[in-house]
Amino acid sequence: MSVPEGKANDLLTNYDPGLYYDELFGGRDYPAEHSALIRQRLAGLNFGDLLRRSQDAERELYNLGITFLVYSNKDAVDRILPFDIIPRVISAKEWAHLEAGITQRVTALNLFLHDIYHDQKILKDGVIPADLVLGNGCFRPQMVGLDVPFDTYIHIMGTDLVRDREGTFRVLEDNGRVPSGVSYVVENRHMMQRVFPDLMQDIGIRPVDNYGHKLLDAMMEIAPQDVADPQVVLLSPGSYNSAYFEHIFLAREMGVPLVEGRDLVVENDRVYMKTTNGLARVDSIYRRIDDAFLDPKAFNPDSMLGVPGIMEAYRKGNVALANAIGTGVADDKAIYCYVPRMIKYYLDQEAIIPNVDTRICREADALQYTLDNLDKLVVKPVGEAGGYGITIGPRASKEELADCRAKLLADPSNYISQPVVDLSVCPTVTDDGIDPRHVDLRPFAITGKNTWVLPGGLTRVALKKGTLIVNSSQGGGSKDTWVLQDGGPQDGSQEGSAS
Amino acid sequence: MNLLARYAECIFWMARYMERAENLARILDVHETFARDTRGMTNWFSIVQLNADEKDFFSRHDRPTAEAVVHYYMFDTQNTNSLVSMLRMARENARVLRPWISTEMWTQINVFHNKLVEMNGKGVALPNLSKVCTWIKEECQTHTGITEGTFYRDQGWYFYQLGKYIERADQTTRLLDIKYHTLLPSPVVVGSTLDMSQWTTVLRSAAGYHAFRRVYPRGMSPTTVAGFMMFNEGFPRSVVMCVRQIDGLLTRLKSRYTLRNGSEAMEKVDELLGALLARPIEEVIQLGLHEYLDGVQAQLCGITIEIGRAFFGQDTVPMTQSQSQ
């Protein structure tokens, strides 16, 4: 790979984010001061050196087995999440705003879950259509009337944020079931410390490696109160799950056993794990298995991954589960549209981080609007994850649009539509030099008694030129995310980003 | 700290597969160099016999040519006794154990496995076999070293050692056995130059030649070699040495962690040790070395089954793991 012309001396001279908001440079009118030193250091690098470091990082990820399984035809292949070594930088001020917004959102979603599994006031008051909640496949009648510690349902939350052309962060999606990706946040930092220590020198970056401690604290907090020294475990579907590396990572960081369904047994409504010395009590379970597979007695009877009887042990308060059962109804794409109203209803506050403008196609006028503007909108099925089934209007062919129209008309309540958000970009190493690529951000919040937000989050980057889809299953990569320390030498303000 | 039964099992098998891989690399390496018959041809078929793989081998190959046997034991993924299969199994166990073992242990096995798989694509020319075997042996020894230096000493460590010594004892009996029933019935005169070079090969496969020479500076006979490999108290690959280790490990494991189970396994170990110490080698050979070794292998297998029952939460060892015994 040759060094592109004109970039040999200053790697960022020809860098052009176009009309998008840039995460390293800021908006056109507000050059980001907080990242000036980082830009200066990057600009002084040699492209060959950057590529070499980049390759070193990817090789190390592979060797360390920081991989996820991809299933293609019959084969399961180990893949690394491609890693880009140019960090995404967030100022202390921006972060304070995001942290407050995420905490607010988690609080509201937990209040919502408690409400719908108890008095259902929000439904009775007509703020959210009752059938949208009660008719939702993820609503678990087994949870009705059940109390959970601190009324916390979503202990681990991943909030997908995007930043529009004006630099405003918006919530794209809530992940309140089994959000994944946090292991990459920590491993990406470790990787940067190995391959790019000179870039990090004296910048004042908030650490991310205490996530495991915070998670363990929360898991201990929610354990049954009568247990003095609770046994925490992480329940995984097993080594063939695509997120298995993350399960390993979290179990190791917490210092707890990583168990599978077959390691657990329920006797007299108490959960035990099989050890070399017989059965040992389990008190608190961070489960990375969906509700439906958790207990063949209570949910999907065909599940081989779950633990028969665990739901009853949970109902009796003999074991804690994180996240709670039945949180899927809160992070549903259809419910998402109502979250700002939910925040208003429970907290009497405006949403600190706004949603992306969203239309619910089950509503007649929204459907009409969507059909009329199909070529300008993003249409998403509400039940899918991982970027599947999405139609991006402005980029779709006539056939794809016609197909989308037919699907909308056949089952309108299965879809929402949103305007295309011009995701912000970040300088990224490509074969052609440093080029802008679109990014999003998934911060992680842990809630036991209180909520704690990991400073930073997973920055996913769409590595293919022009594409907006950042999902790892569709060719996305990731970047280290630096939240700068408050009051640090580089703490600049970034007007126009907040609110 | 509790140890999950499944982890204990994975640790045990990870150790066994790594030990088995090292032994196979030794056998392939030494074979290439030393095990030649009267016409100077390497008898590759004996390796197939050593592993009792005749049926599987001939289902895919007509003749035990050097190329066929080497490929079969290096890279054949359908052969559970190939190096690539052993490494895959070791790696799968290590993958499960990643929350438990050190990152260095995992990374080394992962990289080792990946390199071996990559090598398969390129193929190994026979003249390079020795080099490749040396590399594999060294990777296995690196694993041993990393494990010694980084494995946290709790219950898991005992299961690791148990796996390693049971496998090693088993491998030594197999090595002796193959010499016995492939070479002895041949028209080669016992005590001839060729016969001696073959016994030397056996010793070299187990890295025991120099140690043997130290004990028996003069001469070499089938009896002294077999006796050395079975009963020597100082040779790290002798069966007695391994079984003594197993005995001590089980006793300490049970008492240190006050484990309820495992008495049956200890009884089986006592039985085996007693049997090993009961007869001198001359008597063993007179009664039939092959039958004797078969018996030792069956007893080792019995110990494995009892360990599985006692600690791995199972009544029988799963077929996938016992089939490659």
Each residue of A228-279: pLDDT tens digit? 999 999 999 988 888 889 999 999 999 999 999 999 999 999 999 999 999 9
pLDDT for the residue numbered A304: 83
Judged against a pLDDT cut of 80, whether residue A146 lies above it is answered with yes
pLDDT digits 0-9 by tens, A469-488:
777 667 789 999 999 998 75
Instruction: Name the residue with tokens 């990817």.
Output: A58
ipTM of this complex: 0.87
Closest by Cα among B299, B304, B296, B295 to B323: B304
* Per-residue model confidence as pLDDT tens digits over B239-277: 999 999 999 999 999 999 999 999 999 999 999 999 999
Instruction: Count other Cβ atoms within 10 Å, centred on residue A75.
Output: 8
For chain A, residues classed under CATH 3.30.1490.270 are 359-419
The answer to whether the Cβ–Cβ distance between A65 and B106 falls below 8 Å is: yes
pLDDT computed for residue B181 by the predictor = 57
Confidence (pLDDT) at A362: 85
DSSP-based three-state secondary structure for B77: coil
Residue B117's nearest CA partner among B76, B63, B164 is B76
Average pLDDT for residues B297-320, to the nearest whole number? 81
Q: At A402, phi and psi to the nearest 5?
A: -65, -40
Chain B residue with Cα closest to A239: B96
Give the minimum alpha-carbon distance from B5 to chain A in angstroms, rounded to a whole number.
Answer: 4
Specify whether the CB–CB gap between B169 and B177 falls below 8 A. no
Cα dihedral sign, B197-B203-B205-B207: negative
Q: Do B6 and A262 touch (CB under 8 A)?
A: yes
Confidence of residue B197 (pLDDT cuts 50, 70, 90): confident
Contact B114 A62 (CB under 8 A): yes
Residue B3 near chain A (CB below 8 Å): yes
Give the residue on B whose Cα is nearest the Cα of A233.
B4
Residue A408: pLDDT band with limits 50, 70, 90? very high
pLDDT band at A395 (very low <50, low <70, confident <90, very high): confident
Question: Whose CA is closest to B168, among B109, B248, B73, B241?
Answer: B241
pLDDT at A493 over 60: no
> What 3-state DSSP class applies to B25?
helix
To the nearest whole number, what is the mean pLDDT of chain B?
A: 87
CA distance B158 to chain A (A): 12
Q: What is the pLDDT of residue A2?
A: 41
Residue A4 has pLDDT above 50, yes or no: no
Question: Region A62-84: what's the mean pLDDT?
Answer: 77
Shortest distance, CA A358 to any CA of chain B (angstroms): 42
- Give residue B285's pLDDT: 87
Q: Distance (Å) from the C-alpha of residue B324 to the closest C-alpha of chain A?
A: 22
Verify whether the Cβ–Cβ distance B260 to A276 is below 8 Å: no
Q: How many Å apart are CA B320 and CA B93, to the nearest integer?
A: 13
Across B119-139, average pLDDT: 83
Euclidean distance between CA atoms A341 and A335, whole angstroms:
10
CATH of A359-419, one of 3.30.70.360, 3.30.1490.270, 1.10.443.10, 3.40.50.2300: 3.30.1490.270
Q: Are B199 and B176 in contact (CB under 8 A)?
A: no
Q: Mean pLDDT across the stretch B46-64?
A: 88
Residue B221 has pLDDT above 60, yes or no: yes
Measure B308 CA to nearest chain A CA, in Å: 10
- pLDDT: which is higher, B166 or A299: B166
Look at residue A431 in the predicted model and tell me its pLDDT.
86
Q: Which of B4, B98, B99 sits opposite A275 (nearest CB)?
A: B4
Q: CA B162 to CA B312: how far, in whole Å? A: 13
* Class of A225-318 in CATH: alpha beta
Residue among A66, A191, A276 with most chain B CBs within 10 A, to mutate: A276
Query: In the structure, what pLDDT confidence band is assigned to residue A131 with cuts at 50, 70 and 90?
Result: confident
Closest CA to A499 of A383, A354, A380: A354
C-beta atoms of A276 and B259 within 8 A: yes
Residue A467 above 60 pLDDT? yes
The pTM of this model reads 0.88
Task: Kindly report which listed range (A111-125, A199-213, A485-499) carries the lowest average pLDDT score.
Answer: A485-499
Strand partners, A169: A163
Q: Give me the pLDDT at residue A471, please.
A: 76
Percent of chain A at pLDDT exceeding 90:
72
**What pLDDT was estimated at residue B306?**
96
Q: How far apart are CA B115 and CA B88, in angstroms?
A: 12
Under the banding of pLDDT at 50, 70 and 90, the label for residue A213 is very high
Weakest-pLDDT range from A2-16, A104-118, A472-486, B170-184? A2-16
Tell me, what's the pLDDT at A499? 35
Count contacts between A and B (CB, < 8 Å): 68
Which A-chain residues 212-231 have CB contacts (< 8 A) with chain B?
Answer: 231
Query: Pairing state of beta strands A284-287 and A232-235?
Result: parallel
Assign A494 a pLDDT band (cuts: 50, 70, 90): very low
| Whether residue A498 has pLDDT greater than 90 | no
Q: Which of residues 17-76 of A touch B (CB under 8 A)?
A: 62-65
Q: Select from B8, B99, B103 the Cβ nearest to the Cβ of A258.
A: B99
Work out the angle at residue A467's Cα, subtended by the Cα atoms of residues A464 and A471, and round it to the nearest 5 degrees: 80
Interface contact B98, partner A, CB < 8 A: yes
- Asked if residue A331 lies in contact with residue A177, where contact means CB atoms within 8 angstroms, the answer is yes
Closest CA to A271 of A303, A236, A238, A312: A312
What is the DSSP-derived secondary structure letter of residue A472? Answer: G
Chain A residues lying within 8 Å of B98, measured CB to CB: 65, 248, 252
The number of C-alpha atoms within 13 Å of A361 and in the hemisphere containing its C-beta is 27
- Both structure tokens of B111: 């990289």
pLDDT over threshold 70, residue B133: yes
A11 Cβ under 8 Å from any chain B Cβ? no
Judged against a pLDDT cut of 60, whether residue A353 lies above it is answered with yes
**pLDDT tier for residue B110 given thresholds of 50, 70 and 90:** very high
Average pLDDT over residues B291-315: 92
Residue B99 is nearest to which of A248, A260, A273, comparing CB atoms? A248
Per-residue pLDDT band for B50 (boundaries 50, 70, 90) equals: confident
Neighbours of B275 (CB within 10 A): 14
* C-alpha distance from residue A441 to each of A108, A167, A433 (Å): 20, 13, 23
- Interface contact A65-B107, CB threshold 8 A: yes
| Of A2 and B220, the one with more pLDDT | B220
Mean pLDDT of chain A: 90
Instruction: State how far the Cα of B142 lies from the Cα of B136, in Å rounded to an integer.
Output: 10
- Selected residues 164-223 of chain B with any CB under 8 Å from a CB in chain A: none
The C-alpha atoms of residue B126 and residue B193 are separated, in whole angstroms, by 26
Q: In degrees to the nearest 10, what's the CA dihedral of B213, B215, B218, B219?
A: -80
Which pLDDT score, from 0 to 100, does residue A366 have?
A: 93
**Which of B1, B4, B92 is the mutation pick for testing A, counting most A CBs within 10 A?**
B4
Which residue intervals of chain A bear CATH 3.40.50.11290?
225-318
Residues with Cβ within 8 Å of B64's Cβ and at least 6 positions away in sequence, in order, are: B44, B45, B48, B57
Say whether the peptide bond before residue A323 is cis (omega within 30 degrees of 0): yes
Q: Report pLDDT for B144.
A: 97
Write down the pLDDT at residue A32.
87
pLDDT category at A382 given cuts 50, 70, 90 is confident
The share of chain A scoring above pLDDT 70, in percent, equals 93
Give the model's pLDDT for residue A386: 54
Cβ(A425)–Cβ(A84) below 8 Å? no
How far is it, in rounded angstroms, from Cα A104 to Cα A93? 17
